[in-house]
Amino acid sequence: MRIGLIGAGAVAPFHVRAAAALAGAELTAVCDIDESAARRAADLSPGAGVFTDHRRMLEADVVDAVIVNTPHALHLPISVEAAEAGKHVLVEKPMATSVADCDRIAEACERAGVSLTVGHIQHFLPDKTAAHGLIASGELGAVQLIRDNRSTDYRPGTRSPWFFSREVAGGGALFNIGAHCLDRSLWFGGAPAAEISASVASRFGSPVETDGVLRLRLENGVGVAIAVVSDPPTRSDSLTVVCEGGVVEADPRTGTTVRIDGRTRVLHEPTDHDIQTGFTAQLSDFLQVVDGGPPAVPLDHARHVVELILASYRSAQTGVASVLGAVPA
Ligand SMILES: NC(=O)c1ccc[n+]([C@@H]2O[C@H](COP(=O)([O-])OP(=O)(O)OC[C@H]3O[C@@H](n4cnc5c(N)ncnc54)[C@H](O)[C@@H]3O)[C@@H](O)[C@H]2O)c1
């Protein structure tokens, strides 16, 4: 599979190294409107062509698939154009900036007969897969509650300027970082959300929210509390899953543990290459989907994440919980 990476910013090296690690993949092109960024990423993959316009890359017949790794509002047009050019698409999270745009991407890929997956990395990170594996084994019984505490840094200047444009990013810390929390909470909770309520804060003079708290009730009754906080004294990325028979904690820095009846057991010790392992597993999943396998992250799930972030904004604005309908198949 000849892969083209479109958007060569902060996350690009993980995608490039993922392609290098997989026998069935080869990164043959990198495209960025910033040529120096494209060159930097291409240098990690000797022989990869450099483009500054994704349309030229699609026309050049040098790729079979693309990774769309651009600002969020560009996920839609670039994914659709890639599909129309007959290329399989792995689009970074969040899938798009509206539910309608998620549907447009899915429809374009279906129409073109190409595969589509969404890069919800949480499903592939070793600390999370260890936790999910234990829960899926049934040893702990049913999931009852989930707490997700995630710090970030949304002070302007800490990341690319587009992250602070509602039009381009779709929103702020919740759209970007909250997407990870919603993704993993829904995955561990095992059902779509029935209801979501939210409060947000916009600090540091930011035009988008920098902090937010979310409360969800899933269709199966599981309760979820998510907090995304910018620049706190103590950094956190901690997912706690309360099950009938024990509590699981997953954190990329401290690893994964389970506490059952007063005893703690280690499920995963963190390593320096856990994040890369996740990106490689994610690309491997994409290759497998192209080969006709089922995706680790169903498209409805990725669409629901976007739906929930937008519902959380409505709730934060109106002060009432957003009640969601059943997620269409
Ligand atoms: N999976 C993860 O853990 C993770 C982590 C961070 C970001 N992301 C996601 O990855 C995507 C990229 O985020 P980032 O942090 O790398 O952003 P970034 O700002 O660092 O990089 C984006 C790049 O896209 C380029 N770009 C803009 N318009 C383009 C166009 N029309 N054609 C080609 N390139 C274009 C920019 O020049 C820039 O180099 C986003 O969807 C983001 O939410 C995922």
Mean pLDDT, residues 281-310 taken together = 98
Residue 325: pLDDT above 80?
A: no
Residue 210 in domain: yes
The C-alpha atoms of residue 42 and residue 262 are separated, in whole angstroms, by: 51
pLDDT of residue 324: 84
How many CB atoms are located within 10 Å of the residue 245 CB? 12
Q: List 322's β-bridge partners, or say none.
A: 196
Can you say how many angstroms the Cα of residue 122 is from the centroid of all Cα atoms in its chain? 7
- CATH number for the domain including 287? 3.30.360.10
CATH code (residue 33): 3.40.50.720
86 and 167 fall within a common domain: no
Q: Which two three-digit tokens encode residue 115?
A: 């595969």
Atom 4 (ligand 1) nearest CA: 11
pLDDT higher than threshold 90 for residue 116:
yes
In the chain, the percentage of residues whose pLDDT exceeds 70 is 98
pLDDT in tens, 94-107: 999 999 999 999 99
Indicate if the pLDDT at residue 272 is higher than 50: yes
Q: How many domains does the chain have?
A: 2
* Pocket-testing residue among 6, 11, 128, ligand 1, by greatest number of atoms within 8 A of Cβ: 11
Range of the domain at 24: 2-119
Residue 71's identity, in one-letter code, is: P
User: For residue 328, is it within any domain?
Assistant: no
In this predicted structure, the answer to whether residue 328 has a pLDDT above a threshold of 70 is no
* 164 plus 312 within the same structural domain: yes
Return the pLDDT at 326. 52
* Both tokens assigned to 12: 């690009």
Averaged pLDDT for residues 129-158: 98
SS3 203: coil
Determine the pLDDT at residue 322.
86
Give the pair of three-digit tokens for residue 192: 């779509």
Give 37 Cα–ligand 1 centroid separation in angstroms. 11
CA distance 251 to 150: 10
What is the average per-residue pLDDT within 149-169?
97
Task: List residues near ligand 1 (CB under 6 A).
Answer: 6-11, 31-34, 37, 54, 69-72, 74, 92-93, 119, 121, 160, 176
Q: What is the pLDDT of residues 190-227, one digit of tens each?
A: 999 999 999 999 999 999 999 999 999 999 999 999 99
- State mean pLDDT over 224-235: 98
- From the list 211, 163, 219, 141, the residue with the least C-alpha distance to 186 is 219
The β-bridge partners of 241 are 146, 248
pLDDT tens for residues 52-69? 999 999 999 999 999 999
User: Concatenated DSSP letters for 117-159?
Assistant: EEE-GGGG-HHHHHHHHHHHHTTT--EEEEEEEEEE--STTSS
Pick the last residue of a domain from 97, 119, 141.
Answer: 119
Q: Which residues make beta-bridge pairs with 253?
A: none
Residue 196 falls within a domain, yes or no?
yes
Would you tell me the crossing angle of helices 299-318 and 179-189 to the nearest 10 degrees?
A: 120
Q: How far apart are CA 186 and CA 178, in angstroms?
A: 12
Same structural domain, 188 and 211? yes
